[in-house]
Chain A
């Protein structure tokens, strides 16, 4: 029988612990497929964050370091400076990257560290149980914002990609979504560019992936995909925000 689709060899056979409908699984697969297609699985080290995707090291079959909350870009800097010819990437959620780790991501981007950052933004804290994130939308309910995010009390959500794009050394920044197959394909293309940039030594690359959290959004998986499309994309517009000439 002809095989038309198979799990990328970059993913281990381990069953993922993610909740039903969570899009981390899709993003993991995209990263895995890119590692396999670029043939860099055996020269890559990933840096796992704190949060739901901490256990990415159980699912992607390459060397890994688990970092303290928000510190993944600093840990990745240490690894990349020691092994400049290897491929180093971080995989971070929005609590990790946009809240506790803002200093680390800003300065890794400012230094133009030749690393790839996969930033998964689902507008909430997942693992700790649905608390408000800096990316939580105005009016969106969270366990620490039971009446919804209030702009007068909490301010308005942070757009990390646009903020980092103000840095001259942040060479590649793109925001994508995984709410339907067409956008998943675009997401993969952006992730591939972000890794290619590292291989060719272009510089710092980040892909922000809009993602769902049905459990903490208190929605079904299908409702979540719709909510992402209708609410997140208008505030977090998709597309390339910065691109180096070399990969154009």
Chain B
């Protein structure tokens, strides 16, 4: 199949349409606006609906309604807009509705800036909205992987009745790479017999989409049911890439765009005879803690590299569990981690300087 040169934001749209997504509700924000623009052009051609909402708050609630009505639906935004969507995301998680949410992260806090960042890690993986819920967070490091994860992401959402977030950054959204839209592995998807179509089910019963459980006994039961689902997701869906991590003296860790810079740093270190490897989480939730448990037996130290000031490092430390020191290097505000600085940091760690 031919590969097309596509801009990240547009490739997400193409992959979503290919995956059967026919509804998009969004609101403009840099650096992801090419995605709603693409959807406004392309969705009507396939009988779909693009709607520009009055706000991110409204957009995510339209997603709630459409997902509850049984549609394959998505929204996208960037950091400040995702903050606004958090109310709706909590309701979507509580009501167990499948949908895809794209966050093309920019620098924060507040209005921050419009350059790429990874500073929404906490928000994406540790809640953001209220309550005991989990978002499945997928972190691609190329346009191709982003397309693959978008397509699989819709299926994952349907399989578990859970919202899925694609956590990209301004670089992934804006850069161009060659992509091929490939069908994801086949999953057994349950029928959406819970969806409100207006027509009662085959037993003549009405359906209700709700996250309200006013009796504490019922809410606890609901939350425990969600936890069981989250355990299943952890078991089945945790995904990471290991690059020379098995016999490395130092294991670096990075996700998304940053992992490509780290990858080059590892190559440079190899040339100097330094055994460095990388663990690249592809799912940020569920986080691949096991990979670090194993690596902690052989590696001397760990280095977490982020476009934020120490967010993912907390999960890396949980994985390493105190067995080895975990160091940190990060840039923020839209500034990029520098390959030579990473190399220097590694040398200092292995040389016992820090």
Contact = CB atoms under 8 A, between A and B. Distances in A.
Nearest to A61: B206
Contacts of B237: none
A160 B70 CA distance: 32
Interface in B73-115: 73, 87-88, 91, 95
Interface in B33-66: 49, 51, 53-55, 57-59, 61-66
Nearest to A66: B210
A103 B55 contact: yes
Contacts of A82: 23, 49, 65-66, 69-71, 73
Nearest to A75: B65
Interface string A142-162: 000000000000000000000
A54 B212 contact: yes
Given A43-B198, A45-B69, A82-B69, A64 B61 contact: no
Contacts of A65: 64-65, 68-69, 95, 196, 208-210
Interface residues of B, number: 38
A83 interface: yes
7 nearest CB pairs, A to B: A78-B65, A86-B198, A74-B61, A66-B210, A78-B66, A75-B65, A63-B196
A119 interface: no
Contacts of B70: 82
B211 interface: yes
A43 B200 CA distance: 8
Given A75-B61, A82-B70, A103-B58, A68 B91 contact: yes
Interface in A76-110: 76-83, 86-88, 103-104, 106-107
B96 to A, nearest CB: 13
B180 to A, nearest CB: 30
Contacts of B63: 78
B310 to A, nearest CB: 33
Contacts of A86: 197-199
B58 A79 contact: no
B25 interface: yes
B54 A83 contact: no
B216 to A, nearest CB: 17
Given A65-B65, A66-B210, A66-B211, A79 B57 contact: no
A92 B268 CA distance: 62
B62 A75 contact: yes
Contact of B69 (A74, A83, A104): A83
A84 to B, nearest CB: 9
Contacts of B197: 45, 63, 83, 86
A67 B67 CA distance: 13
A78 B88 contact: no
Which of A48, A83, A86 is packed against the most chain B CB atoms within 10 Å?
A83
B109 to A, nearest CB: 24
Contacts of B88: 68, 71
A111 B62 CA distance: 13
Given A43-B198, A64-B196, A66-B211, A104 B64 contact: no
A76 B65 contact: yes
A236 interface: no
A62 to B, nearest CB: 6
B196 A78 contact: no
Contact of A42 (B73, B95, B196, B200): B200
A44 interface: yes
Nearest to B204: A42
Contact of B210 (A57, A61, A81, A106): A57
Contacts of A42: 198-200
Contacts of A75: 61-62, 64-65, 68
Interface residues of A, number: 35
Contacts of B196: 45, 63-65, 79
Which of A62, A71, A77, A79 is packed against the most chain B CB atoms within 10 Å?
A79
Contact of B64 (A44, A67, A81): A67
28 contacts: A43-B198, A54-B212, A62-B198, A62-B200, A63-B199, A63-B208, A64-B206, A65-B64, A65-B65, A65-B69, A65-B209, A65-B210, A66-B95, A66-B208, A67-B91, A74-B53, A77-B58, A79-B65, A80-B65, A81-B23, A83-B69, A86-B199, A87-B198, A88-B198, A103-B57, A104-B61, A107-B58, A111-B51
A47 interface: yes
A86 B23 CA distance: 17
Contacts of A80: 65
Given A71-B58, A103-B58, A107-B58, A64 B23 contact: no
Contacts of A54: 212
B49 to A, nearest CB: 5
B87 A68 contact: yes
B104 to A, nearest CB: 22
Given A63-B199, A64-B206, A104-B58, 9 more contacts: A43-B198, A63-B198, A65-B209, A71-B57, A74-B53, A74-B64, A78-B62, A78-B71, A79-B196
Interface string A20-42: 00000000000000000000001
B209 A77 contact: no
B66 A44 contact: no
B58 to A, nearest CB: 4
Nearest to A85: B198
A78 B64 contact: yes
A43 B199 contact: yes
